[in-house]
Amino acid sequence: MIRTKLCDLLGIKYPIMQGGMAWVSTAELAAAVSEAGGLGIIGSGQAPPDWLREQLRKAKELTDKPFGVNVMLLSPYAEENLKIIRNERVAVVTTGAGNPGKYVPWLQEVGTKVIPVVASVALAKRLVRNGVDAIIAEGTESGGHIGDLTTMTLVPQVVDAVDVPVIAAGGIFDGRGLAAALCLGAVGVQMGTRFMSAAECTVHENIKNAIIKAKDRDTMVTGRPTGHPVRVIRNKLTRQFEELESRCAPVEEFERLGVGRLRAAMVEGDTEFGSVMAGQVSAMVKKIEVVEEIVQDVIKGAEKTLCQLYEGGVIK
């Protein structure tokens, strides 16, 4: 069985974390991943405190295993949601869209691990100086908000630059991805897109079907002029973004076009004019599976891959 420092740090069986995706990662999915031996994460996104309280209550009813919450620090509710997380002594907080530095000691006082998502070495080093427990190095292959570096290039650079555990994210689908991440020096992986297709995921069925139908070049990056690019599956909305880029439209037009589009996709099922945030591994998703099957496929696949390397004489 594959067991790493991440398992000991978070009190989990397998070194697999589920991405905290807004409008996607609800209590049902997070609890299922934790029950399967990984770390499930509720994506709070722009959600208000009452929603988060309800999700935490539901997750605790569904599992007694550790789980986490992802907090987008630019959310107007970020500080209030962090207070709820601290009061509820949630096991893990992953963060994005900001620096969690001022909250780190405050959360760690109650035993909460703080693990930010980064897309650059410089940010990783700065956050480690703030005392975070680990780093998620996320490559540009991932869905949603992205950086410029690929997972293959980012992860080893972050591993070499910091003295805390590093989790690889972006473009990881199966056991080969986990084995590769371990070879790059990571202690585990965070996966988002594959878990979107899980039976326990409450995202709209249209989104699951769009991911299953996706081909290798069906995702693209929109919104680069805003400074906050996102990877999504191509549709009529992405063509509108492309038109804005072609005429060098003001940033305000990009922002107006993007308002409410993520919810329209994930909750309402609008795959034409909604923002279908998904990673480049979408093309590898072929069916809807229960979370337990996904986790076991990743772990057994990684074990098989590593054994083949030894048996084939690649590793001596």
Domains delineated in the chain? 5-202+285-311 (3.20.20.70), 205-281 (no CATH)
8 A C-beta contact, residue 265 and residue 207? yes
The span from the CA of 99 to the CA of 106, in Å, is: 14
Mean pLDDT of 175-196: 97
Is the pLDDT confidence value at 316 over 60? no
Average pLDDT over residues 188-195: 98
Report yes or no: 268 and 262 within 8 Å, Cβ to Cβ.
Answer: no
Give the pLDDT of residue 24: 95
pLDDT exceeds cutoff 90 at 184: yes
| Sign, CA torsion 139/141/144/149 | positive
Does 313 have pLDDT greater than 60?
A: no
- pLDDT range class, residue 314, cuts 50, 70, 90: low
| Segment 119-176, tens digit of pLDDT | 999 999 999 999 999 999 999 999 999 999 999 999 999 999 999 999 999 999 999 9
Q: What CA–CA distance (Å, rounded) separates 218 from 232?
A: 8
User: What percentage of the chain reaches a pLDDT higher than 70?
Assistant: 98
Say what the pLDDT of residue 315 is.
58
How large a percentage of the chain has pLDDT more than 90? Answer: 90
Distance CA 152, CA 160 (A): 13
Can you spell out the DSSP letters for 84-140?
Answer: HHHHTT-SEEEEESS--GGGHHHHHTTT-EEEEEESSHHHHHHHHHTT-S-EEEE-T
pLDDT at 312: 60
pLDDT at 277 over 90: yes
Here the tokens at position 216 are 């290798």
For the cut 90, the answer to whether the pLDDT of residue 104 exceeds it is yes
Secondary structure element (H or E) that encloses residue 185, with its range: none
How many CA atoms, within 13 angstroms, populate the side-chain half-sphere of residue 306? Answer: 17
Q: Which of 33, 42, 31, 28 is nearest to 15 (CA)?
A: 33
pLDDT of residue 295: 98
Q: So what's the pLDDT on residue 228? A: 87
- Per the rule left: phi > 0, alpha: psi between -120 and 50, beta: everything else, 105 is alpha
Note the pTM of the prediction, 2 decimals: 0.94
Q: Are 208 and 196 in contact (CB under 8 A)?
A: yes
145 alpha-carbon distance from chain centroid:
10
